[in-house]
Amino acid sequence: MKDADTLVGQWVRPGIRALAAYHVPDATGFVKLDAMENPYHWPPELVDAWLAQLRDVELNRYPDPRSPQLIETLRRVAGIPADQSVILGNGSDELIQVIIMALAAPGRVVMSVEPSFVMYRMIAGYADMAYVGVPLGEDFALDVDGFIRAMQEHQPAVVFLAYPNNPTGNRFPREDVEAVIQAAPGLVVVDEAYAPFADDSFLKDLGRYPNLVVMRTVSKQGLAGLRLGYLSGPAEWLSEFDKLRLPYNINVLTQASATFALEHHQVLEDQARAIRHDRGVLLDALAALPGLKVYPSEANFILFRVPQGQGNRVFQGLKDAGVLIKNLSPQGGVLADCLRVTVGRPEENARFMEALAGVLGSG
């Protein structure tokens, strides 16, 4: 009988074997500022009301695959146009997977900017589709003319544009994104994962363009543990995507908890407002440190560049000091010596700044 390695080599696609699994570092004991999470908990009285509601959830029954109450609450709170459809995903990652699976065919292309959210490239690989990342320009600006030329050359089935972009934090000019939508031969997915911290949205533009859908997640609003994403857009697109969505992908606890949280959305909005304020404080503090280049952000994180060749050293120095952020320097290229810090609570931000000043001073 063949051994397991031989069987894997015979049957698992070469493209899958060439991939690396997505790695999440252990954050135990650290000031955790690496994953763009909302650092705030709910007030105790809201936790008590949530737990009381969960007592009535029937864990012995399958969830309603349509999630009607949750979708209606999302429509109302997010302001989704009434004539646009909505489907839910187990996080936005599942929605990216569903979209790419629906459009996958030999020779077809997935396109985005580079750098951007890593899952666009990874899931394209899972589906055996080619991925084209169009490099961003100086200070991570969208080269709209270059992007349109690349679309004309590669004819992508789907374009993903994060708005604001991850990991850079900047929001591309609206008119540039509109130009991409108008010129795209296929679908354009505007990924608004960081909408609570940004100054613009394409939700209100749904219906203006036949090839536009908008994807969001509740993760950055303080509900990352629920794993809930939602996609809004024309029924013609979403009815096809819904065929690939697993029927019970949103469990009963997520449906009940997300509906409850969104019914109390003012708490989440107040937290987002505090994060936006603290982002400004942190941006100013970082800009005051010598040797750093700090990039503007409309997300809940900040990208900054340390002196040449110091990225890995600074990251490790922060880690040794008990502060965990994201090290993007190993990706090289335009992200060489770049680090990304999530905006935390004021005391966490102060701890980070103290540690960073110490590490920079020791270099």
Query: What pLDDT digit, counting tens, does each position of 69-86 carry?
Result: 999 999 999 999 999 999
**The predicted structure's pLDDT at residue 177:** 98
CB of 341 closer than 8 Å to CB of 352: yes
**The predicted structure's pLDDT at residue 107:** 95
Instruction: Give residue 19's pLDDT band: very low, low, confident or very high (50, 70, 90).
Output: confident
Report residue 143 as tokens. Answer: 């080269």
The whole-model pTM stands at 0.95
Q: How far apart are CA 142 and CA 153, in angstroms?
A: 18
Instruction: Give residue 15's pLDDT band: very low, low, confident or very high (50, 70, 90).
Output: confident
Q: How far apart are CA 4 and CA 28, in angstroms?
A: 34
Instruction: Give residue 363's pLDDT band: very low, low, confident or very high (50, 70, 90).
Output: low
- In a 10 Å sphere around its CB, with 0-12 CB exposed, 13-18 middle and 19+ buried, how is residue 151 labelled? buried
- Give the domains, in start order, of the chain with CATH numbers: 4-43+267-361 (3.90.1150.10), 61-264 (3.40.640.10)
CB of 129 closer than 8 Å to CB of 100: yes
**The predicted structure's pLDDT at residue 20:** 78
Instruction: Give residue 44's pLDDT band: very low, low, confident or very high (50, 70, 90).
Output: very high
Q: How far apart are CA 283 and CA 220, in angstroms?
A: 19
Report residue 206 as tokens. Answer: 């749904």
**The predicted structure's pLDDT at residue 16:** 87
Name the percent of the chain lying above pLDDT 90: 93
DSSP class of 209: B
Query: What pLDDT digit, counting tens, does each position of 153-192 carry?
Result: 999 999 999 999 999 999 999 999 999 999 999 999 999 9
